Amino acid sequence: MVIRSMLESRLTFIVLALIGVLIGGIIRFYSFMNPDIKAVKASLAQNEAKPINILFVGIDSVEGSHRADAMALISLDLTDRRISVLFVPRDTRVRIPDRGWTKINHAYAYGGISLLKKTLEEFLGIAIDHYITIDYTGFVRLVDLLGGVELYIEKDMKYSDRWAGFYINLRKGFQTLDGNKALQYVRYRNDPEGDIGRIRRQKKFIEAVVNKLRGQDIAGRLPSLAIEAIKFLKTDLAPEQIMYLVSFFKGFDLSSVRWEMIPGQPGYIDGVSYWLPDLEKLEGIKRWILLGEKARVDEVGKEITVEVLNGNGIYGAASKVSKILEGYGYKVIQIGNADRLNYSITKVVDNTGANPDVAKKIVEILGYGVFSSEKRNVEASVTIILGRDMKE
Which tens digit of pLDDT belongs to each residue from 39-59? 666 667 666 667 888 899 888
CA atoms within a 13 Å half-sphere pointing along the CA-CB vector of 93: 16
Q: Give the residue range(s) of CATH 3.30.70.2390 domains in the chain.
A: 305-386
**pLDDT score recorded for residue 204:** 85
Residues 372-390 pLDDT 10s: 888 888 888 899 999 999 9
Report the DSSP pairing between strands 93-96 and 52-59: unpaired
- Which has the minimum average pLDDT: 155-159, 214-218, 282-286? 214-218
- Greater confidence (118 vs 211) lies with 118
Q: Give the residue range(s) of CATH 3.40.630.190 domains in the chain.
A: 42-300
**pLDDT score recorded for residue 45:** 65
Cβ atoms of 130 and 44 closer than 8 Å:
yes
- pLDDT exceeds cutoff 90 at 271: no
Residues 99-144 pLDDT 10s: 888 999 899 989 999 999 999 998 988 889 899 888 888 888 888 8
Kindly provide the residue ranges of all beta strands, DSSP E only, lying in the chain, ordered along the sequence: 52-59, 68-77, 82-88, 93-96, 100-103, 130-135, 149-153, 157-161, 166-170, 173-177, 234-235, 258-261, 264-269, 272-277, 305-310, 331-337, 347-350, 370-373, 382-386
In CATH, the number for domain 305-386 is: 3.30.70.2390
Whole-number average pLDDT of the chain: 78
As a whole number, mean pLDDT of residues 262-280 equals 84
As a whole number, mean pLDDT of residues 16-38 equals 45
Name the pTM for this structure.
0.63
**pLDDT score recorded for residue 291:** 64
The distance of Cα 82 from the centroid of its chain, to the nearest Å, equals: 15
Cβ atoms of 370 and 363 closer than 8 Å:
yes
Categorise residue 66: left if φ over 0, alpha if ψ from -120 to 50, beta otherwise: left
Residues 319-355 pLDDT 10s: 888 887 876 667 888 899 999 999 999 999 999 887 7
Residue 26 — φ and ψ, nearest 5°? -65, -45
**pLDDT score recorded for residue 142:** 85
- pLDDT exceeds cutoff 80 at 155: yes
42-300, what's its fold?
Aminopeptidase (3.40.630)
Torsion 371-376-380-384 (CA) sign: negative
Residues 308-320 pLDDT 10s: 999 999 998 998 8
pLDDT band at 292 (very low <50, low <70, confident <90, very high): low
- Greater confidence (184 vs 165) lies with 184
As a whole number, mean pLDDT of residues 235-257 equals 73
Torsion 349-351-356-360 (CA) sign: negative
What is the helix (H) or strand (E) element at residue 199, kind and residue range? helix 195-214
**pLDDT score recorded for residue 216:** 59
